[in-house]
Amino acid sequence: MALYLKTLKVLPSWANGLGVVAEHWYLHCASEATDAFLPMIGVDLDYVSRGYSYYAVETQITKFALLSVGDELRSDLQILMYDQKRIQFLVTVIREGREIVAIEQMYIHVDKAVGKSCDAPSQVFERLKLFGEAHKLLPIPDVVGRSVGKSEPML
């Protein structure tokens, strides 16, 4: 089972001038989930203050339905691939048991002082590996690996 990491409620400030949830709030849901996960592998505020972190470098958002103000959401996270420098996540946002959006992301471990990728230290990698190995047993959702223009329309 993917990790259930975050519960969110769609706020009125998330709606744009058309009365629908603006695009960046879908990404916000994924960020909240990954921000909840990273401390679980040792990438917390103390770790970041030492000059290292993971940065999102690629994102694919696939919407299956629109969000509305007041919706209660849960965000689940599945590790699709990992190595010493990279983590590929799928965050699924669910409303009332139905998948609303799938957000696939690639994160890179970075040494902020030099502005380049680097291997995660062994204590972080070993914690990541525990989750990653468990997630290898999960099926890969059909949405993984899609690209712009290759997805079915949501409506």
pLDDT, tens only, 36-49: 999 999 999 999 99
Please, what is the average pLDDT of the chain? 91
pLDDT digits (tens, 9 = 90+) for 2-23: 777 788 999 999 998 887 888 8
Residue type at 9 in one-letter notation: K
pTM: 0.89
CA angle, 57 as apex, 29 and 142 as ends, to 5°? 60
**C-alpha dist (Å) from residue 54 to 39, 42, 113:** 11, 11, 13
How many C-beta neighbours within 10 Å does residue 91 have? 28
CA angle, 83 as apex, 136 and 49 as ends, to 5°? 120
